[in-house]
Chain A
Amino acid sequence: MGVILREFSFKLNGQPVSVKAPPAYTLLETLRYVIRLTGTKDGCSSGDCGACTVLLDGRAVHSCLTLISHVQGREVVTVEGVDPKIVKAYASEGAVQCGYCIPGLVVATAALLREHPKPSTEEVREMLKGNLCRCTGYVKIVKAVEAAAGV
């Protein structure tokens, strides 16, 4: 296999970065294996679970379905760059059990609150329907979002 390497520049959590990676690597692979930033989790690599959610130009996307080539010149925010008040709300409301899905949920929540600063329960459910959690039954996740929004 002839591995191809290219250089890509983008903004990661507010900082400009340059990274050499195969152009068809996903953003998830680049974050975890090249940059070694592992807060973004790999649950299925198929866009089915939401654990790898990041913000691309402010919108929630699957980093496992985003090529590093898609990211060139854009802005990426991972869990490491999200408003800590959301992280704190998840922790204090007991929404964290095994915790593997939570970074993705935290990022999805950041996108949700950007669109709906005071979301209804319906809006929370609609916006987080792509983030699977196997531990919590989602009850405390809804509470965490509401706590982060101050509703």
Chain B
Amino acid sequence: MTVEARWVGREIARRDALEKASGKTKFASDMVPDNLLWVATLRSKHPHARILKIDVSKAAKMPGVVGVFTHRDVPNNRYGVFFKDRPVLCDDRVRYIGDPVALVAAESREEAEEAVDEILVEYEPLPVVSDPLKALDPASFKIHENGNVCRATRITFGDVEKALQDCKAVVENTYRTMPQIHAYLETEAGVSYIDDKGRITVVAGGQSPYRDHHEIVSTLNLPADKVRVVIPNVGGAFGGKDDISVQIHLALVTWKTGRPARLVWSREESTISGTKRHSSIVKMKTGASADGKLTANYVEIVYDTGAYAALGPAVLDVAIETCNGPYKIPNIDVRAWLAYTNNMVASAFRGFGAPQVHFAMEQQVDQLAEELGFDPLEFRLLNCVRKGDYGVFRNKLVGSVGISKCLETLKNHRLWRERASLKDVRTYPWVKRGVGVAAAMKGYTLGALPDKGSVGLELRLDGGFTVKGSFTEIGQGVVQAVSQLAAELLKTSIDKIEVVFADTAETPDTSVTSASRQLFLAGNALRDAVNKMLERIGRGVEMVCGRPVAEVHLSEGYVQTSSGIRIPLTEVAETLERAGLGRSVVGVFDVPRVEPIPGSLEIPHLFYMFGAALAVVEVNVLTGVVSVNELVAVADVGRAINPQTLTGQLEGAAAQGIGYALLEDVKISEGRLLTTNLSTYLIPSIKDVPEIEAIAVEDHEDSGPFGAKGIGEIGIIPVAPAIANAIYDAVRKRPFTAPMTPERVYWLVKKQD
């Protein structure tokens, strides 16, 4: 049921847009505190080596150098969310080329850079393990004490072997995807200083101030109240700032020197030492019956997490959870491995493990449809899950399930209906056209993992409200969405709503900004806070009136009782203040979840996002160049809080999907990244992206704020397989490796001749 709303659902320009566009917003990289120390990092030049000796004596005597720091300065030199396997500064070994070994803090940028060159490190090179399949071989050289299998699991339901025997059609293929680099325009950046309360304060691009805070205090062994983490507006994140980058290093420098410090990674440092999307090898054997029902899926997944686990174990879970697509399949057998290698560290990236397996599964589905003589969209509609169904893990789908609405939208779209004539348009004989579709699903929330968040709400003396939460503004527009929700719930004009975000000293813990669920979490916690606020205001009204009141309503800066009394909120605020009752409340939301199924960390989710994409491509068979002429991105959003920011998220995700599908080729040679900058690692320019048509379908989520659900990630997931299916439609040859770069597509087409 959709509630009539005044602020929810309205297209309002973001409150931060004008300041950002005019250059006034201070990002972490724009901050240059007075009297600061410039910090430079010495990184490993070896993909794998034992450290025999680190000699900083010469560097420490260089002009302007205030401190040189190594592992010896870090009390607890290991961190990590799932496994504490990552050193703050390397001690016994380096495990990839970007691994940090030492930090220099100096009076100027130049002096810091010069001194880094004077640190002497003696290495003993070790065998480099760059291929994840080789890494999993027990005989391969061990990168970590317990070997190279970071995680391995198997989840099976039904009897796949038997079901495959009974299938009318079975397709079996191996798919590969390369890593993807987030390539946010602002690299990892931050400053640190001692604040007026004596706290070591780190202001840095990130996604989770409380998690960063935890990693700082646990590695540096500092009292929790002596550290503060602030996350200002972040110049892009997409999951890539979910992990620690500059935070502990900055805290270390300020802790040791008492001075403000600044550390901003260069573009090359960002591409080498920032996290990546996992590269994947996915083998699938999928079967369907003659009547077009998917009956079995056998899957082997290998993800390369690089030198350290980071969020890889959870990424693998999402891969397992989503590799069967949004379909009912009674028999599944999924085996998955997360491999340590000497490649760059992989962790969270929009889609979080889902894009890789969708690249495989959505091509499997197209092949089965073709073999059985079904239209690809009809085939998907025949198999897709609906609300109340049981998913592949025998989990009841209690939340909103809008996949059939997404697929119907594409089925009725002009480009799908007219695809035959669309393909007929001729330019040059070497240009072929194709049309492809793909569906997508992914859980939002942290699934079966505990996830609880709080949001503070204050009635200000001026009668407005301040919302406080540790959610981070990474470009997605959560601050705007929260303001609109708050204005709606508090029945006040949006300009009376202030939002304070992402400061461990000022805002309660709203948990991490990831998994597409910050709005869902913060919105529900806010709703709880508003209820508590109404109670508090009720007590204030009672004090003003001098008698009990049953119920209060808010309206444009006033509070009204059922008996018709109307009091300005300013008066209520003053009364509460004088009485010492407090004007602030904290709302809490404990995200509903079920127990994880055996063999998993967080499967299943209770809440899923769904989407679909349609791509029209042109393939030049003489060059292998694929251009996307049209792209339709559909997502089930529950309810749009702000259609402008919503379509912006879908368009941006789709563009990243185009990059992932066609352009963004990470080249690694024996652990060395060759594509270290934006001239070799090519992200889409304005000429590579068509005018994306983003369509939001609203399948109301009863548990969501005003029916809204997560949308941040879904838009990227169906794009690469839709493009792959379109390429197949154009050239009748199936691309099994992404990105489908000109060279790969060229050889693919050429091979068939």
Complex: A135 Cα to B264 Cα, angstroms: 21
Contacting A at CB under 8 A, from B450-475, are 474-475
Question: Which of B21, B266, B654 has most A Cβ within 10 Å?
Answer: B21
Checking A42, A90, A97, A130 against B475 with a beta-carbon cut-off of 8 angstroms, the contacting residue is A97
Complex: A52 Cα to B652 Cα, angstroms: 21
| Chain B residues positioned under 8 Å from A44 (CB to CB) | 267, 677-678
| Chain A residues positioned under 8 Å from B679 (CB to CB) | 46, 48
Complex: A100 Cα to B17 Cα, angstroms: 11
| Chain A residues positioned under 8 Å from B233 (CB to CB) | 98-99
Main secondary structure on B side of the interface with A: loop
| Chain B residues positioned under 8 Å from A90 (CB to CB) | 17, 21
- Mark contacts of B15-38 with chain A using CB atoms, 8 A cut-off: 1 yes-contact digit, 0 otherwise: 011101111111101101000000
| Chain B residues positioned under 8 Å from A42 (CB to CB) | 29, 264
Given contacts A96-B20, A133-B185, contact A138 B686 (CB under 8 A): yes
Checking B21, B185, B648, B691 against A134 with a beta-carbon cut-off of 8 angstroms, the contacting residue is B185
Complex: A97 Cα to B186 Cα, angstroms: 13
Confirm or deny: B235 has a beta carbon within 8 angstroms of a beta carbon on chain A.
yes
Contacting B at CB under 8 A, from A22-73, are 32-33, 36, 38-46, 48-49, 51
| Chain B residues positioned under 8 Å from A97 (CB to CB) | 475-477, 645, 648-649, 652
Confirm or deny: A139 has a beta carbon within 8 angstroms of a beta carbon on chain B.
yes
CB pairs A–B below 8 angstroms (8 shown)? A1-B114, A38-B23, A41-B27, A43-B267, A91-B13, A100-B184, A130-B685, A131-B685
> Interface on A for B, CB 8 Å cutoff?
1, 3, 32-33, 36, 38-46, 48-49, 51, 78-80, 84, 87-88, 90-92, 94-103, 106, 121, 124-126, 128-142
Complex: A107 Cα to B350 Cα, angstroms: 30
Checking B21, B182, B652, B687 against A136 with a beta-carbon cut-off of 8 angstroms, the contacting residue is B652
Q: Are B648 and A78 in contact, CB atoms less than 8 angstroms apart? A: no
Q: Are A84 and B652 in contact, CB atoms less than 8 angstroms apart? A: no
Given contacts A46-B267, A137-B689, contact A98 B23 (CB under 8 A): no
Q: Are A45 and B267 in contact, CB atoms less than 8 angstroms apart? A: yes
Contacting A at CB under 8 A, from B625-670, are 644-645, 647-649, 651-656
Complex: A45 Cα to B267 Cα, angstroms: 8
Checking B29, B30, B652 against A135 with a beta-carbon cut-off of 8 angstroms, the contacting residue is B652
Checking B22, B26, B677 against A80 with a beta-carbon cut-off of 8 angstroms, the contacting residue is B22
Given contacts A138-B686, A139-B691, A140-B651, contact A100 B235 (CB under 8 A): yes
Q: Are A131 and B686 in contact, CB atoms less than 8 angstroms apart? A: yes
| Chain A residues positioned under 8 Å from B317 (CB to CB) | none
Question: In whole Å, how far is B657's beta carbon from the nearest beta carbon of chain A?
Answer: 9
Complex: A126 Cα to B685 Cα, angstroms: 10
Q: Are B21 and A96 in contact, CB atoms less than 8 angstroms apart? A: yes
Given contacts A43-B267, A130-B685, A132-B185, contact A142 B691 (CB under 8 A): yes
| Chain A residues positioned under 8 Å from B30 (CB to CB) | 32, 38, 41
Smallest Cβ-Cβ distance to B235: which chain A residue: A100
Q: Are A98 and B235 in contact, CB atoms less than 8 angstroms apart? A: yes
Contacting A at CB under 8 A, from B246-271, are 264, 266-267
Q: Are A132 and B683 in contact, CB atoms less than 8 angstroms apart? A: yes
Complex: A15 Cα to B30 Cα, angstroms: 23
Confirm or deny: B183 has a beta carbon within 8 angstroms of a beta carbon on chain A.
yes
Q: Are B21 and A103 in contact, CB atoms less than 8 angstroms apart? A: yes
Complex: A19 Cα to B237 Cα, angstroms: 35
Confirm or deny: B238 has a beta carbon within 8 angstroms of a beta carbon on chain A.
yes
| Chain A residues positioned under 8 Å from B13 (CB to CB) | 91-92, 94
Q: Are B678 and A46 in contact, CB atoms less than 8 angstroms apart? A: yes
- Mark contacts of B667-700 with chain A using CB atoms, 8 A cut-off: 1 yes-contact digit, 0 otherwise: 0000000000111000101110101101000000
Confirm or deny: B522 has a beta carbon within 8 angstroms of a beta carbon on chain A.
no
| Chain A residues positioned under 8 Å from B647 (CB to CB) | 94, 139
Question: Which of B474, B683, B689 has most A Cβ within 10 Å?
Answer: B689
Smallest Cβ-Cβ distance to B685: which chain A residue: A129
Question: Which of B11, B17, B182, B183 has most A Cβ within 10 Å?
Answer: B17
Q: Are B14 and A94 in contact, CB atoms less than 8 angstroms apart? A: yes
Complex: A48 Cα to B677 Cα, angstroms: 8
Interface size on B, residues (CB 8 A): 63
Complex: A48 Cα to B235 Cα, angstroms: 17
Question: In whole Å, how far is B537's beta carbon from the nearest beta carbon of chain A?
Answer: 34
Confirm or deny: B242 has a beta carbon within 8 angstroms of a beta carbon on chain A.
no
Given contacts A51-B185, A130-B685, A136-B651, contact A33 B32 (CB under 8 A): yes
Smallest Cβ-Cβ distance to A96: which chain B residue: B17
Confirm or deny: B234 has a beta carbon within 8 angstroms of a beta carbon on chain A.
yes
Checking B17, B186, B648 against A43 with a beta-carbon cut-off of 8 angstroms, the contacting residue is B186
Complex: A17 Cα to B35 Cα, angstroms: 24
Complex: A137 Cα to B633 Cα, angstroms: 12
Complex: A3 Cα to B114 Cα, angstroms: 12
Q: Are A98 and B22 in contact, CB atoms less than 8 angstroms apart? A: no
| Chain A residues positioned under 8 Å from B689 (CB to CB) | 137-139
Question: Which of B13, B109, B235 has most A Cβ within 10 Å?
Answer: B235
Confirm or deny: B528 has a beta carbon within 8 angstroms of a beta carbon on chain A.
no
| Chain A residues positioned under 8 Å from B677 (CB to CB) | 44, 46, 48
Q: Are B678 and A132 in contact, CB atoms less than 8 angstroms apart? A: yes
Contacting A at CB under 8 A, from B488-516, are none
Smallest Cβ-Cβ distance to A42: which chain B residue: B29
Question: In whole Å, how far is A121's beta carbon from the nearest beta carbon of chain B?
Answer: 8
Q: Are B235 and A139 in contact, CB atoms less than 8 angstroms apart? A: no
Q: Are A102 and B691 in contact, CB atoms less than 8 angstroms apart? A: no
Q: Are B652 and A103 in contact, CB atoms less than 8 angstroms apart? A: no
Q: Are B645 and A94 in contact, CB atoms less than 8 angstroms apart? A: yes
Complex: A99 Cα to B686 Cα, angstroms: 16
Complex: A134 Cα to B474 Cα, angstroms: 12
Confirm or deny: B443 has a beta carbon within 8 angstroms of a beta carbon on chain A.
no
Smallest Cβ-Cβ distance to A94: which chain B residue: B644
Checking A38, A43, A80, A141 against B686 with a beta-carbon cut-off of 8 angstroms, the contacting residue is A141
Complex: A79 Cα to B477 Cα, angstroms: 23
Smallest Cβ-Cβ distance to A122: which chain B residue: B687
| Chain B residues positioned under 8 Å from A136 (CB to CB) | 648, 651-652, 655
Q: Are B678 and A49 in contact, CB atoms less than 8 angstroms apart? A: yes
Q: Are B22 and A87 in contact, CB atoms less than 8 angstroms apart? A: yes
Contacting A at CB under 8 A, from B59-114, are 108-111, 114
Question: In whole Å, how far is B27's beta carbon from the nearest beta carbon of chain A?
Answer: 6
Q: Are A125 and B687 in contact, CB atoms less than 8 angstroms apart? A: yes
Confirm or deny: B325 has a beta carbon within 8 angstroms of a beta carbon on chain A.
no
